[in-house]
Amino acid sequence: MDAKAWFRKRKLTDELTVYDEPFVNSFFRANMYHLVGRDRDLVVDTGMGLARFSDALDLTPGKPVIALATHIHVDHVGSLHEFVERAGPDYSARSFETMDDGKTYADQFRVLDEPVSVAPDDRWNVAAYRLIPAKLTTRLFEGDTVDLGNRQFSVLHLPGHSPDSIGLLDEQDGLFFSGDAIYDDQLIDDLPDSDPAAYRETMARIMDLPVRIAHGGHGEPFDGERMEEIARAYLYKDA
């Protein structure tokens, strides 16, 4: 299948486009974002790697683009290797060089009864599915800045869903890419590397962020008020 047919595309603003993979099992169907910057573009997360995500993007020839993984789980890193400039959390940097199942959970995808509703090509076999290693060219730490020229994002370490989860916040504009730290859908905190206690600390921190609009790893965009509701509901779910 042609890459542009595999990915679903929706333009959110003149500069921001969101993609997903409608034929992938819903549990592994994540959001991927392309933000056009003045000096370079930003791609946030890269899906499952079942088709070439870079071929589906409307990139300007010769313009730099940085692909950034919010964490190392399989539904966010599949096409990372397609990009020359690759950024991700330092916490899991060594694992990006191997993409081991124990860190990515790619093995959980391989055992699904229906991993996809339509095969990406005639030769596709889920048993052979493997992630291609993608060594990071930039390791991101809490407090780092991702600079696109006309806007700068602060890197936030937001563990809980996974120990390496990061988010990107434009503190001037209030634009927040939250990965799987928070999104407007069922949050996952029971994976082998999840930490509910750390997640509660992350939620408490998120409630105080100056967010205008958030774009999560799953679900629809949501505003700062809704973000606070989601965070508060998580903090008090066992009360």
Domain with 192 in it: what CATH number?
Answer: 3.60.15.10
What's residue 239's pLDDT? 58
Q: How many domains does the chain have?
A: 1
* CB contact at 8 A, 86 and 97: no
Q: What is the pTM of this model?
A: 0.96
User: Is residue 104 left, alpha or beta, with left meaning phi > 0 and alpha meaning psi from -120 to 50?
Assistant: alpha
- Distance of alpha carbon 4 from alpha carbon 51, whole angstroms: 9
- Torsional sign, CA 190, 159, 216, 135: negative
Q: How would residue 46 be classed by pLDDT, with cut points 50, 70 and 90? A: very high
Report pLDDT digits (tens) over 53-67.
999 999 999 999 999
- Distance of alpha carbon 104 from alpha carbon 189, whole angstroms: 15
- Distance of alpha carbon 35 from alpha carbon 124, whole angstroms: 31
And the tokens for 203?
Answer: 């939620």
Domain that includes residue 176, residue range: 3-235
- Distance of alpha carbon 39 from alpha carbon 36, whole angstroms: 9
Indicate the pairing of strand 65-68 with strand 85-89: parallel
Q: What average pLDDT does range 217-232 have in this prediction?
A: 97
Q: Average pLDDT, whole number, for the chain?
A: 96
What's residue 2's pLDDT? 82
